Amino acid sequence: MNRRQFLVGSTALSFGLAGFSHAQSAARALPLPPLMDLTGGIDGRVPLMLAPSNHDFGNGAISQTFGINSTYLGPVIRARQGQTLPFDVSNTIGEGVALHWHGLHIPGSVDGGPHQEIEDGATWSPDVPIVQHASMNWFHSHTHGKTARQTYNGLAGILLVEDDASLSADLPKTYGVDDFTLILQDKAFNGAGEMIYQLTGEVFEDGFQGETLVVNGAIAPLTQAVPSGLVRLRILNACNARFLTLSLATGPLSVIASDGGFLASTVDVESVLMSPGERYEVLVDMSSIQSNGLQVDLDGGDNEGGFLASLFGGGTTLTALTLTQNGDPGFQGSMPNRLANLSPPNRSEATVTRSFELQMDTGADLAALAFAWGNICGDGAMAINGQPMNMDRIDEEVRKGDKEIWRISVDDQLHPFHIHGCSFRILSQQGAAPPAYAQGWKDMVHVEEGWSEVLVRFDHQATAETPYMYHCHILEHEDCGMMGQFTVT
Ligand code: C2O
Ligand code: CU
Ligand code: CU
């Protein structure tokens, strides 16, 4: 955040603060998105219906949203390695939509990028092969120039991949009992309590930033009763632009998995910094405590810090979710040590190195680029290596099976970089080794000063007709052109 935004953001902020104090007084029940469990077998096609809806975030007002088989967000899809998922994605939201499977190792032809827009009234029927191991993935709008608003309005959901190892692992896995998925988002509400998406020409640099924390479509704080023993939280930062810092009220966070799968072993940390698009799985030990709180700092990536802190008198940390122990026995195993076989990434295996510079303002003419967005991008398009996203230009051509180093740098502020069609390992992040919890399989890397480097291999094909994307996952940056396209052949 920069100072300029503090001033222009002050009107929206006062709504948010009113929402906060109300919210902090009465905890709501954690909504459990319906589980669509396909691991036991699939009967016919799998419908995902994208439609406009009305949704109550828990403040009594009715907000206009988009839902996927629901009033807001989508189901939790649970599938198994080796399956092919026959989706029927139908769109009735009133405009075109592309729906991308973020994290899946799948060919470009079913990836759901901006070249695969589903017209209003149409249905897209990709057969999505699940070849990767157990991992927490998600799906969200990826419509050219409209990703930020459509995702904000509710076009997102979770796709869990399980494999033989994860299904037999000694871990909590009863959905809604000791295994929960949490979609964290920041929202703005107007004086009537309705969700709004508001950007001015001044705030494009930071993307959308709301002051109210929402979990699974309900305003925090939330509460959930759980059995004693270990409880598993599978967490997605689905904010458009905010980095979040997570911690527990009591004890360390025990991180067991990142974007692309299990870590080598459990990593205990005081806090986890999560960018938009990142996923982490954590275990909370409820065997000897009555309650514990998952805490979220909404200004996780803010180096200057202190803005909300000054308003709240010294702390920006909110309780997102309070777990209260109900005395049931629940999962009785112990905290796992070894989780997966993962050797450290070896940079000498790479045969190709590519460099990407993320750029905030190129001065390139937005009108000429036909962005749908008007003035949210400020004076000029954002870009990578001097080139704002262009649907008709392939930026990189990658050979299938090669190991490559991708080196990403920025000219300022913190950006979360994402690559389609793969999982990678982080070699360095901002010039140093990444924190232990980010040393496993990832598809997101933080980029700030200096550069970050990842070691990546692409195993599936993407042609010029349906190329893969790489981009900043601050969705307003993506929409404003901080994105490129590549093929894998
Ligand atoms: Cu999560 Cu290209 O996106
Ligand atoms: Cu993706
Ligand atoms: Cu960015």
Name which residue sits closest to atom 1 of ligand 1, judged by CA.
102
Q: State the ligand closest to the CA atom of 301.
A: 3
- What residue numbers bound the domain in which 353 lies? 347-488
Q: How far is the CA of 88 from the centre of ligand 1 (A)?
A: 20
**pLDDT given for residue 201 in this prediction:** 53
Q: Establish if 67 belongs to a structural domain.
A: yes
Q: Does one domain contain both 319 and 359?
A: no
Q: Does one domain contain both 176 and 320?
A: yes
Those residues whose C-beta lies under 8 Å from the C-beta of residue 153, and which sit 6 or more positions away, are 64, 65, 66, 197
Q: How far is the CA of 464 from the centre of ligand 3 (A)?
A: 25
Q: State the ligand closest to the CA atom of 142.
A: 1
Spell out, as residue ranges, where the chain has pLDDT lower than 50. Answer: 1-25, 303-315, 372
Q: Does one domain contain both 301 and 429?
A: no
Encode 197-234: b = buried (16+ Cβ within 10 Å), e = exposed.
Answer: eebeeebbbbbbbbbbbbbbbbbbbbbbebbbbbbbbb
**Ligand 1 atom with the shortest distance to the CA of 277:** 1
From 153, 168, 183, the end of a domain falls on: 168
Q: How far is the CA of 277 from the centre of ligand 2 (A)?
A: 9
Distance CA 283, CA 292 (A): 12
pLDDT per residue over 187-240, tens digit each? 999 999 999 998 765 556 788 989 999 999 999 999 999 999 999 999 999 999
**Ligand 1 atom with the shortest distance to the CA of 470:** 2
Q: CATH number for the domain including 388?
A: 2.60.40.420
**pLDDT given for residue 366 in this prediction:** 62
Q: Does one domain contain both 56 and 40?
A: yes
Q: How far is the CA of 394 from the centre of ligand 2 (A)?
A: 17
In the β-sheet with 403-410, what is the strand arrangement from edge to edge?
383-384, 352-359, 403-410, 451-457, 424-428
Q: How far is the CA of 206 from the centre of ligand 3 (A)?
A: 8
Q: Does one domain contain both 38 and 126?
A: yes
Q: In the structure, which protein residues have their CB atom closer than 6 angstroms to any atom of ligand 1? A: 100, 102, 140, 142, 277, 418, 420, 469, 471, 473
Q: Establish if 336 belongs to a structural domain.
A: no
Q: Does one domain contain both 101 and 194?
A: no
Those residues whose C-beta lies under 8 Å from the C-beta of residue 452, and which sit 6 or more positions away, are 407, 408, 409, 417, 426, 428, 429, 430, 445, 446
Q: Establish if 117 belongs to a structural domain.
A: yes
Confirm if 457 and 402 have CB atoms less than 8 A apart: yes
Q: How far is the CA of 142 from the centre of ligand 1 (A)?
A: 7
**pLDDT given for residue 362 in this prediction:** 78
From 146, 168, 190, the end of a domain falls on: 168
Q: State the ligand closest to the CA atom of 204.
A: 3
**pLDDT given for residue 306 in this prediction:** 36
Q: Alpha-carbon dihedral of residues 417, 422, 426, 427, nearest 10 degrees?
A: -110
Q: How far is the CA of 78 from the centre of ligand 2 (A)?
A: 18
Q: Establish if 393 belongs to a structural domain.
A: yes
Q: What is the pTM of this model?
A: 0.92
Q: Establish if 6 belongs to a structural domain.
A: no
Q: State the ligand closest to the CA atom of 476.
A: 3
Q: Does one domain contain both 74 and 201?
A: no
From 125, 153, 168, the end of a domain falls on: 168
Domain count, the chain: 3
Q: Which of 338, 143, 136 is nearest to 238 (CA)?
A: 136
Q: How far is the CA of 147 from the centre of ligand 3 (A)?
A: 14
Q: Does one domain contain both 317 and 444?
A: no
Q: Does one domain contain both 267 and 382?
A: no
Q: Does one domain contain both 223 and 162?
A: no
Q: Does one domain contain both 190 and 218?
A: yes
**pLDDT given for residue 379 in this prediction:** 62
Q: State the ligand closest to the CA atom of 384.
A: 3
Q: Establish if 40 belongs to a structural domain.
A: yes
Q: How far is the CA of 191 from the centre of ligand 1 (A)?
A: 32
Distance CA 140, CA 2 (A): 28
**pLDDT given for residue 173 in this prediction:** 96
Encode 103-113: b = buried (16+ Cβ within 10 Å), e = exposed.
Answer: bbbbbbebbbb
Q: Does one domain contain both 159 and 176?
A: no
**Ligand 1 atom with the shortest distance to the CA of 140:** 1
Name which residue sits closest to atom 3 of ligand 1, judged by CA.
102
Distance CA 217, CA 201 (A): 28
What separation in angstroms does the CA of 89 have from each of 4, 99, 152, 384?
Answer: 41, 8, 19, 31
Q: Establish if 76 belongs to a structural domain.
A: yes
Q: Establish if 25 belongs to a structural domain.
A: no
Confirm if 261 and 340 have CB atoms less than 8 A apart: yes
Sign of the torsion angle spanned by Cα atoms 112, 115, 116, 122: positive
**Ligand 1 atom with the shortest distance to the CA of 478:** 2
Those residues whose C-beta lies under 8 Å from the C-beta of residue 359, and which sit 6 or more positions away, are 382, 383, 384, 385, 386, 410, 411, 482
CB atoms within 10 A of CB 49: 15
Q: Which of 310, 171, 187, 304 is nearest to 240 (CA)?
A: 187
**Ligand 1 atom with the shortest distance to the CA of 469:** 2
What separation in angstroms does the CA of 419 have from each of 150, 427, 484?
Answer: 20, 15, 10
